[in-house]
């Protein structure tokens, strides 16, 4: 942790020097970007220097204690000084940890948009997508969170080619933030008659839901199309133009929503998904800029990599990011995710503190 803190302090000093450079001040865009970065680490560096000051006081008190041989009152005084500095040291260290992790905690209370899509494996992948959705619903319910389905694309035998839903409630993002990625399933599919084990894949995207003040969307940048819903959905299906498709012209992002009977409700849900996707895009672009500026790669939450395998014949679940295998597949599929999520949280915090997170 302290090796990482030293690098951040060095960057703090570089920024301080750059912000006093007249050429930088003239370039307001660059100046504001550097000022924002400087402000983001100022509290951390202030705390680090308090910690260092306490370390110096502790070292000085220990030295004086070693040198003093005769005066009992002074020995007692220096002993007390050493004791107080050591007690203070631990509290200051914990405060440093909290500040280092503060960026991650900034989004912890955000609601989220979750997108599950069937990948390789055809109908079997769609069936597993449906099971993942059920697993997340059960876990969310156990935490007092609410599920709000926004768009579905079901198959004929109970699978889901795609489902987009919101999860709202206290610390929704913190609970689910490690689920983005490719989830692989190994089992004998219901559609397989020869008993062979197949491997299929489902992708999951977890997006913090942005507030309107965080992502401003110009209505002139939107193309909104309405059309008749298709598939399951009640009497309004194929009878009214309730389905909505919103295209964000500058980015090319397209969102559709047709699960509600009301066009107004579908539009509101589609805007929530669009805002979350734009917020995610902005965050990823900012992460890339920071990585380039500091000439190092940081974690960007890339969803392209395989993160977990669910092996049904062996009743095991393996998370490949932290090399943990749990032989409790049934419980996990029933939404008992606490053990798995806790292990991911502990690993993430450790890597974040030591600066060893990899993209």
**254/252 Cα distance (integer angstroms):** 6
pLDDT at 111 over 60: yes
- Output the pLDDT for position 304: 47
pLDDT of residue 168: 93
Model pTM? 0.64
Average pLDDT over residues 15-33: 85
158: tokens are 């109970």
pLDDT (average), residues 322-329: 96
Question: Which among 176, 167, 171 has a CA at the least distance from the CA of 147?
Answer: 167
Q: Would you say the CATH fold of 219-294 matches that of 108-213+303-354?
A: no
CATH 3.30.70.1660 fits 108-213+303-354, yes or no: yes
| List of residues 6+ apart from 135 with CB closer than 8 A | 332, 333, 334, 335, 337
Kindly state the average pLDDT of the residues 193-208. 87
Length of the chain: 359
All structural domains of the chain with their residue ranges: 2-100, 108-213+303-354, 219-294
**219-294 maps to CATH 3.30.160.20:** yes
Q: Taking residues 258-264, what's their average pLDDT?
A: 86
Q: Cα–Cα distances in Å, from 126 out to 119, 120, 148, 309, 313?
A: 8, 9, 20, 16, 19
Q: What is the largest CA-CA distance in the chain?
A: 97
Q: Which range has the worst mean pLDDT, 235-244, 274-283, 288-297? A: 288-297
pLDDT of residue 322: 94
3-state secondary structure of 246: strand
Q: What is the pLDDT of residue 105?
A: 52
Give phi and psi for 294, each to the nearest 5: -95, 0
From first CA to last CA, the distance across the chain in angstroms is 19
Predicted pLDDT at 293: 42
Which three-class secondary structure state does DSSP give residue 328? Answer: coil
Cα radius of gyration rounded to whole Å, the chain: 26
Instruction: State mean pLDDT over 213-228.
Output: 84
């Amino acid at each position: 942790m302290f090796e990482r803190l030293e690098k951040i302090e060095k960057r703090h000093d570089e920024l301080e020097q750059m912000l006093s450079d007249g050429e930088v001040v003239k370039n307001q865009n660059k100046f504001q970007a550097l000022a924002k970065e400087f402000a983001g680490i100022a509290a951390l560096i202030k705390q680090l220097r308090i910690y260092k000051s306490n370390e110096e006081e502790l070292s000085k008190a220990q030295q004086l204690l070693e040198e003093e041989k005769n005066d009992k009152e002074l020995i007692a005084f220096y002993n007390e000084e050493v004791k107080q500095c050591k007690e203070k040291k631990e509290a200051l260290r914990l405060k440093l940890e909290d500040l280092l992790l503060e960026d991650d905690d900034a989004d912890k209370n955000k609601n989220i948009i979750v997108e599950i899509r069937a990948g390789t494996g055809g109908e079997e992948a769609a069936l597993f997508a449906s099971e993942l959705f059920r697993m997340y619903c059960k876990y969310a319910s156990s935490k007092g969170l609410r599920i709000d389905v926004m768009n579905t694309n079901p198959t004929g035998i109970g699978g889901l080619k795609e489902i987009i839903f919101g999860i709202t409630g206290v610390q929704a993002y913190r609970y689910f933030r490690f689920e983005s990625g490719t989830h692989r399933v190994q089992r004998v599919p219901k559609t397989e008659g020869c008993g062979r084990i197949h491997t299929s894949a489902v992708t999951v995207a977890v997006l913090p839901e942005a507030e309107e003040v965080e992502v401003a969307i110009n209505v002139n940048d939107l193309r909104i199309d309405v059309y008749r819903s298709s598939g399951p959905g009640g009497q309004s299906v194929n009878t009214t133009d309730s389905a909505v498709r919103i295209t964000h012209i500058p980015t090319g992002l397209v969102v559709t929503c047709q699960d509600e009977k009301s066009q107004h409700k579908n539009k509101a849900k589609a805007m929530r998904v669009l805002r979350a996707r734009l917020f995610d895009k902005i965050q990823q672009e900012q992460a890339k800029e920071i990585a380039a500026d500091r000439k190092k790669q940081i974690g960007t939450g890339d969803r392209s990599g395989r993160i977990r395998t669910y092996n049904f014949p062996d009743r095991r679940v393996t998370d490949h990011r932290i090399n943990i295998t749990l032989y409790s597949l049934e419980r996990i599929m029933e939404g008992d995710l606490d053990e798995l999520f806790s292990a991911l949280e502990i690993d993430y915090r450790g890597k974040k503190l030591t600066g060893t997170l990899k993209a």
